Amino acid sequence: MARTQVAIIGAGPSGLLLSQLLHLHGIDSVVIERQSRDYVEGRIRAGVLEQGSVDLLIKAGVGERLLSERLVHDGFALGFADRSFRIDLRRFTGDAVSVYGQTEVTKDLMDARVAGGGKLIFEATDVAVEGFDGERPTVRYLHEGRLHELACDFIAGCDGYHGVCRRSVPATAMQAFERVYPFGWLGILADVPPAAHELVYSNHARGFALCSMRSATRSRYYVQCALDEQLEAWPDSRFWDELRLRLPAEVAQSVVTGPSIEKSIAPLRSFVVEPMRFGQMFLVGDAAHIVPPTGAKGLNLAAADVRILYQALVERYRTGSTGLLDRYSERCLRRIWKAERFSWWFTSVMHKFDDDAFSHRIQLAELDYLTGSESAQASLAENYVGLPFDTPP
């Protein structure tokens, strides 16, 4: 039976980041992933990073390309009632966000782990986590036709919402909180310049729209859609027409169209499981919580979990103390629920939930109030750039 100190299930950005940070502190890990490396590196996801996430990637030694290629945004725009209003992040917080695709973050982390001799196992099937409620956790999996067993001190469940780690916990040992939204986001990626220098979130009677980007030459756009929509019903021409209808005129005029290189529909949900620790197994990122993408908190929350967990593991191996490990759930969940609150609020203000004209007028009043109140703008900016971390004792 092989052995490691920390078995990490999932080779997405959270699993790779945890492995890299542990490696820099002399802690051995093995990363086990059910998909191929090409699949993992090719997944298209979010692209807005809080400064705390940027700082953590720099600490992990993978910040060089990020700092060179990122787009730094000092603000973003809210569109409603055919007007556009800018939220000045720098003014209200002294901080900004960075646009750098999750795909690129994953590639940087993957390259770093390979260069550092990291143990990465791809295309592992029938993964099972066992014994995590005792002192001898074990991970079993099939790889290249053989059954493997990996003994470890701790298991990090970085395997997403549908992963095996959370599903291996008895239902009676945890409590789940969920809200499923009655719509999705239809998104396209296109090699065209962005419609605006910064992100534009737009409230419209026809539904929400978002203008985002991955670089100065690659744009990511979204429109709210019904959950039963089919991609075949949305040729590029229909998408571009609908997008422009939902944007303030000045923004719509700047939209450059082109053929999509990726198109998908994503449902929206809020989800949290408590606790996030089960014996010697710790849930990280989407395995424990999901936020709607409004406000771009998903990847940033996963990075925050990694930050807390790696610090706790370093303390455990350096001093023998389990103080930070014992507080893992508490520290993570305080931040998670605040981000869930913000994502829920931002989603509820910007999206069309029904055809009730009163509800839409309330949304417009909320946005009108926001644009006239510096206190409200400061609160929005503070949440958007990322709330401060607590300091471990």
Give the pLDDT confidence of 166-183 residue by residue, as tens digits. Answer: 999 999 999 999 999 999
Active-site pick, 73, 204, 289, 351: 73
Active-site pick, 204, 297, 351, 352: 297
Contacts of the segment 312-319: beta carbons below 8 A, 24+ positions apart: 313/6, 313/22, 313/27, 313/154, 314/22, 314/25, 314/27, 317/5, 317/25, 317/26, 317/27
Q: Is residue 239 part of a domain?
A: no
Query: What are the CA-CA distances from residue 179 to residues 119, 207, 222, 289 (Å)?
Result: 37, 19, 21, 11
Residue 384 bears catalytic tag:
yes
Split into its structural domains, the chain has a count of: 1
Q: How many CB atoms lie within 10 A of CB 298?
A: 21
Distance from C-alpha of 140 to C-alpha of 203, rounded to nearest angstrom: 48
Phi, psi for residue 108 in degrees, rounded to 5: -60, -45
Active-site pick, 201, 222, 310, 317: 201
Active-site pick, 141, 221, 317, 384: 384
* For residues 98-102, average pLDDT: 93
Q: Is residue 48 part of a domain?
A: yes
Residue 293 bears catalytic tag:
yes
With pLDDT > 90 as the criterion, what percentage of the chain qualifies?
A: 94
The model carries a pTM of 0.95
Distance from C-alpha of 313 to C-alpha of 310, rounded to nearest angstrom: 5
Residue 194 bears catalytic tag:
no
Residue 235 bears catalytic tag:
no
Residue 117 burial by CB count (10 A; 0-12/13-18/19+): exposed, middle or buried? exposed
Residue 143 bears catalytic tag:
no
Q: Is residue 284 part of a domain?
A: yes
Q: Is residue 278 part of a domain?
A: yes
Active-site pick, 221, 293, 351, 352: 293
* Average pLDDT score, the chain: 96
Q: Is residue 328 part of a domain?
A: yes
Strand pairing class (97-99; 48-49):
antiparallel
Amino acid at 177: F
Q: Which domain holds residue 164?
A: 2-71+99-177+269-350
Task: Convert the pLDDT of each residue in 187-246 to its tens digit.
Answer: 999 999 999 999 999 999 999 999 999 889 999 999 999 999 999 999 999 999 999 999
| CATH classification at residue 133 | 3.50.50.60
Integer-rounded Cα Rg, in Å, for the chain is: 21
Task: Say whether pLDDT at 258 is over 80.
Answer: yes
Q: Is residue 144 part of a domain?
A: yes
Q: Is residue 367 part of a domain?
A: no
Q: Is residue 317 part of a domain?
A: yes
Phi, psi for residue 333 in degrees, rounded to 5: -65, -30
